[in-house]
A and B are shown apart, each in its own frame.
Chain A
Amino acid sequence: MFARLNLRTEVLQSYAFVARNFNLIKRYWGWELVWLAYSTATSLAVVFIGEGSALITGAEDIDTSYFVLYLLLGTLVWGFLSGLFNDISEMIQWERWEGTIEYTLMAPVHRFTQIIGQAGFAVLHSLLFTMTIGVAMIIFFSLDLSDANLFGALLVLLAGSLSLVSLGVMASILPLLYTERGTQMTHIVQAFLLLISGVYYPIEVLPSVLQTLARVSPVYYVLNGIRSAVLEGTPTSELWGYIVPLLIIGVVGMPLGVWVFRQAELYAKRHGKLKRVG
C-alpha cells in the first residue's frame, strides 16, 4: 500500500485534490454562503437554548453563561467534525455527481495519497468555516474566553481530525458500493455519532449501551478535551488523556480506512460499480 512512494509526486498529487476542491468552492461560492448562513442559524438556535435555560426550567441558579459556552462548543466542534466527515465521505459521491469518478480512479494515484489530499482540504475547509461561525458567535454572545486554553483546544481538535478522517474514509465506501443510496447511508453514520458522542449533553444521560459506544467514538474525546480546555482552562499537559485515545484511533484507523477503501474499490471494479451512472 505504501510501497514505492515518490514523495515529490505524492505531494503534487495530494495537492491536486486540495487545489481542485478549493477551485470548486470558488465556483460554487453561492452554496458556501447558503451553507454558512444555515449553519450559523442552527448554531444560534442551539446556543439560545442555553440563554433560555432559566426561563425554560424556572430555576434561577443556572450558570447561563457556562451553559451557553457548553452548547456553543458542542455546536462548533460538531460543525467542524461533521464538515470534515462530509468532505471526506463525499469524495466519491461528488465525483459521481460530476461524472469524473472513472477519470480520477484511473489516474496513477495511490488511494493513500488521494485521501491525504482530500483530508488536507477537509481540515482547512472545515476549520475556516467553523472559525467564521465561531467568531460571529463570540461577538454575538459577548463571551469571555480569557481563561480558556485555546492552544490546547486546537491540539485536541487536530488530533480528533485524524481519527474523523479515518471514519470518513470508511464511510466513503458506501457511495462507492451503493451508487444511489450511499450518501444517505453516510448520513446515518453521522447521525449516530451525533447521538452517542455527547455533543449537546453529557453521555451519562444515555442508556448504558450507548454510553459504552460513546467511549469508542472519537467525537466524545474531542468534545470532552475541548470543553475541558476552554471551560475549565485545563493546561495542555493535562489534555493527553483526550489526545492519546484520539491519536490511537487515528493511527489505527487511517491504514485500516485506506485498506477498507481499497477492498471496496476492487469490489466495485469487479462488479462494474464505478460507472458514471449507477
Chain B
Amino acid sequence: MKAAIDRNQDALNVRNVTKRFKVSKPPFWTRWRAQKGATGNGSTASGGRGGDAGMQGVVAIGGVSLDVHRGEIYGILGPNGSGKSTLVRMLSTLLIPDEGQVLVFGLDVVRHEMEVKRVINRVSVDAAFFKKLSPLENLLYGARLYGMTGGEARRKSIDILGRLGLEARSYTQPMDEMSRGMQQKVAIARAFLTQPILLLLDEPTTGLDPRSKYEVQEFVNELRDCHDATILITTHDMGEADRLCDRIAILDEGRIVAEDTPAGLKRLIRRNGHEPTLEDVFMQLTGKKLSGAEEFDPEPVEVAN
C-alpha cells in the first residue's frame, strides 16, 4: 500500500537519533612516529569528541529527540561542529541515522524516502547551483526534478524571482556573476518553487548583508503564514532566531542541551542586572563565554534532555 503524508501529524518527529562517522586512521608510519614520540615525552595525540576517534568514530549526533509541530518555525542553534548540519542532512534523506528514527508527517525518512522527498526542500549555507547556468536555468532544472512542466516552472520562477527583488536582466546571467546574497535568494526561490510543506534552512542568511537577511527572513515568515509550511532553521544569528522562531533547541556536541521558546530560554539563565539575550543563553548553555563577559556571571542550569 502506498504510504501517504498525514498533515494532521507533527511535521517532524526525531526520536533518539544518533549518527557516528568513522575517522580514517592515519598511515601506519605516522602512527608509529607519533607512538614513538609519545613514548619519548609521555604525551599522546588526543582524538576528537567521542574518545578514541580513530577506532570508534566521532559521534556527530548523540541521541537527539525533538518534535516540530505543523506550522512552526523551529530554530536550532549551536556552535560550529555541534552537529546542526548533520541533523539537517538526516532530516533531508541525505544521511541515514545509525540509531533512532526520523518521521516527517508520520512517514519514516528511510523507509518512505520518496514520499518524504516530495514534501520537503532544503536551503543550505552554500547556495549549491550550477554556477555557469542562470537563475532561470537552475530553477527550471529544479522544478522539473519535482515533476513540473517547463512552462509552469518558467512562469512561477519569474514570479518568485521578481518578488525576491531580482532584476529581470539577472534572470539569464550566470550565477557566478551574482553576489552571494543574490545567490542565496535564488536558493530560497528554488526551495519555494516546489511548495514544500517542510522547509529545512541550514544557515540560510550566513554571510548576507542586513537588508538581504531581512528580505530572506520576510520570505520565511511568508512561507509559513501564507503557504502553511513548517520551517526548521539553523542559524548563528541569535537576533534572527529570536525574531523568527517559535521554539528553539540548542545543540552542543551532538546533544540538545535546551529546548524552549526564545522567552523560555532566556528565563533559564539568571538575570544579573540586565535582561539576558539569546546570545547570553547560547554562551552559557554551550559552556563558552566571550572574553570581557565576566560581569555576566552565569549560573549552571538544569537543562532538558
Q: Contacting chain A: which of B66-74, B134-142, B218-226, B267-275?
A: B134-142
Interface: B84 (CB within 8 A):
no
Within 8 A of A (CB), among B59-110: 86, 89, 92-96, 98
Selected from B22, B92, B114, B141, the residue in CB contact (under 8 A) with A271 is B22
Q: Would you call A107 and B129 a contact (CB within 8 A)?
A: no
A268 CB to nearest chain B CB (Å) = 9
What is the CA–CA distance of A35 and B146 in the complex, to the nearest angstrom?
A: 33
Q: Would you call B147 and A9 a contact (CB within 8 A)?
A: yes
For B140, give the chain A residue with the smallest CB separation: A19
Interface: B31 (CB within 8 A):
no
Point out the residues of chain A lying under 8 angstroms from B21, CB to CB. 271-272
What is the CA–CA distance of A39 and B86 in the complex, to the nearest angstrom?
A: 43
Selected from B94, B114, B137, the residue in CB contact (under 8 A) with A20 is B137
A266 CB to nearest chain B CB (Å) = 7
Point out the residues of chain B lying under 8 angstroms from A189, CB to CB. none
For B60, give the chain A residue with the smallest CB separation: A272
Name, among B92, B95, B132, B145, the residue most crowded by chain A CB atoms within 10 Å (CB to CB).
B145
Q: Would you call B141 and A19 a contact (CB within 8 A)?
A: yes
Interface: B178 (CB within 8 A):
no
Q: Mark A1-45, 1 if CB is under 8 A from B, else 0.
A: 000101011001101100110011001100000000000000000
Q: Would you call A27 and B133 a contact (CB within 8 A)?
A: yes
A20-B128 CB under 8 A given contacts A102-B94, A272-B21? no
Q: Would you call A108 and B118 a contact (CB within 8 A)?
A: yes
Interface: A128 (CB within 8 A):
no
What is the CA–CA distance of A27 and B22 in the complex, to the nearest angstrom?
A: 39
What is the CA–CA distance of A253 and B60 in the complex, to the nearest angstrom?
A: 38
Point out the residues of chain B lying under 8 angstroms from A19, CB to CB. 140-141, 144, 150
Point out the residues of chain A lying under 8 angstroms from B86, CB to CB. 272
Within 8 A of A (CB), among B17-32: 21-22
Q: Would you call B126 and A12 a contact (CB within 8 A)?
A: no
Q: Would you call B95 and A106 a contact (CB within 8 A)?
A: no
Name, among B128, B140, B148, the residue most crowded by chain A CB atoms within 10 Å (CB to CB).
B128
Point out the residues of chain B lying under 8 angstroms from A16, CB to CB. 140-141, 144-145
A9 CB to nearest chain B CB (Å) = 4
B60 CB to nearest chain A CB (Å) = 8
What is the CA–CA distance of A237 and B92 in the complex, to the nearest angstrom?
A: 52
Interface: B180 (CB within 8 A):
no
Q: Would you call A272 and B95 a contact (CB within 8 A)?
A: yes
Point out the residues of chain B lying under 8 angstroms from A251, CB to CB. none
Interface: A181 (CB within 8 A):
no
What is the CA–CA distance of A269 and B96 in the complex, to the nearest angstrom?
A: 6
Q: Mark A78-112, 1 if CB is under 8 A from B, else 0.
A: 00000000000000000000111011111111100
What is the CA–CA distance of A100 and B138 in the complex, to the nearest angstrom?
A: 11
Selected from B117, B124, B145, B174, the residue in CB contact (under 8 A) with A102 is B124
Q: Would you call A269 and B94 a contact (CB within 8 A)?
A: yes
A276-B94 CB under 8 A given contacts A13-B147, A107-B145? no
What is the CA–CA distance of A108 and B196 in the complex, to the nearest angstrom?
A: 12
What is the CA–CA distance of A6 and B118 in the complex, to the nearest angstrom?
A: 14
Selected from B2, B94, B141, B148, the residue in CB contact (under 8 A) with A105 is B94
Q: Would you call A23 and B137 a contact (CB within 8 A)?
A: yes
Point out the residues of chain B lying under 8 angstroms from A274, CB to CB. 89, 94-95
Point out the residues of chain B lying under 8 angstroms from A27, CB to CB. 132-133, 174
Point out the residues of chain A lying under 8 angstroms from B36, CB to CB. none
B216 CB to nearest chain A CB (Å) = 18
A75 CB to nearest chain B CB (Å) = 30
Point out the residues of chain B lying under 8 angstroms from A103, CB to CB. 122, 128, 142
Q: Would you call B22 and A108 a contact (CB within 8 A)?
A: no
What is the CA–CA distance of A110 and B147 in the complex, to the nearest angstrom?
A: 12
Point out the residues of chain B lying under 8 angstroms from A272, CB to CB. 21, 86, 89, 95
What is the CA–CA distance of A98 and B130 in the complex, to the nearest angstrom?
A: 6
A116 CB to nearest chain B CB (Å) = 14
Q: Mark B186-217, 1 if CB is under 8 A from A, else 0.
A: 00000000000000000000000000000000
Chain A residues proximal to chain B, CB less than 8 Å:
4, 6, 8-9, 12-13, 15-16, 19-20, 23-24, 27-28, 98-100, 102-110, 266, 269-272, 274-276
Sample of 27 A–B contacts (CB below 8 Å): A4-B114, A12-B144, A19-B144, A23-B137, A24-B130, A27-B132, A28-B132, A99-B129, A100-B128, A100-B130, A102-B94, A102-B122, A104-B145, A105-B94, A106-B94, A106-B122, A107-B142, A108-B146, A110-B114, A269-B94, A269-B95, A270-B96, A271-B21, A272-B21, A272-B86, A274-B94, A275-B89
Chain B residues proximal to chain A, CB less than 8 Å:
2, 21-22, 86, 89, 92-96, 98, 114, 117-118, 120, 122, 124, 126, 128-133, 137, 140-142, 144-150, 174
